[in-house]
Amino acid sequence: LTIAADPKHLGAKVGITAVLHTWSSAMTHHPHIHMIVPGGGLSADGSRWVSCRPAFFLSVRVLSRLFRRLFLGALAAAHAEGRLAFFGDREELTETRAFAAFLKRQRRAEWVVYAKAPFGDPEACSLISPATRIASPSPTAG
């Protein structure tokens, strides 16, 4: 939203449909987000549609770095406010010093942002909708 609104990039207000996944298809811990973003948005005054360039929404590198900064900032704030809980082999992250070291490693890492070329029709929804109906794994399922 921030980058899309910037006149240097798109200069428009965009909408997003997002789904958080915490598991991979192999049922291992793998938090990631799937998003559908329209190929443009409303102008700042809301009077017209602003289309992105063909086959290009926004710079993946810029998106990746901004997402990392905002996400880690929100995570640090949640930790400082005592809103996070850690268990098992991650319990040491309760300690301020250990959590700061964890964040430092995450800030250095390159985060992966993958963006597909825009779709020309509603087929984008068919890619994400099945995943939203799958129940999360349960230790009592069986």
Q: Which pLDDT tens digit goes with each residue over 104-127?
A: 999 998 887 777 766 666 555 565
State residue 142's pLDDT score: 43
List CB contacts of 43: < 8 A, sequence separation 6 or more. Answer: 11, 12, 13, 49, 50
Confidence label for 79 from pLDDT (cuts 50, 70 and 90): very high
pTM beyond 0.85, yes or no: no
Question: How much is the pLDDT for 119?
Answer: 63
Q: Is pLDDT above 90 for 31?
A: no
pLDDT digits (tens, 9 = 90+) for 84-102: 999 898 999 999 999 999 9
CA angle 59, 65, 69 (to 5 degrees): 145
Which residue, among 38, 107, 27, has the nearest Cα to 66 in the 3D structure?
107
- Choose among 69, 99, 68, 67: nearest CA to 83: 99
Indicate the domain borders of the chain: 1-55+116-134, 59-114
Confidence of residue 51 (pLDDT cuts 50, 70, 90): confident
In this structure, the number of other CB atoms found within 10 A of the CB of residue 10 comes to: 21
Of residues 75 and 142, which shows the higher confidence score?
75
Is 129 a residue whose pLDDT tops 90?
Answer: no
CA 117 – CA 52 distance, rounded (Å): 11
What's the rounded Cα separation, in Å, for the pair 36 and 20?
Answer: 12
CA separation for the pair 3, 67 (Å, rounded): 10
DSSP annotation string for 31-84: EEEEEE--SEEEETTSSSEEEPPTT--S-HHHHHHHHHHHHHHHHHHHHHTT--
Q: Is it the case that residue 54 has pLDDT exceeding 70?
A: yes
Percent of the chain past pLDDT 90, that is, above it, reads 33
Longest dimension (CA), the chain: 54
pLDDT attached to residue 121: 60
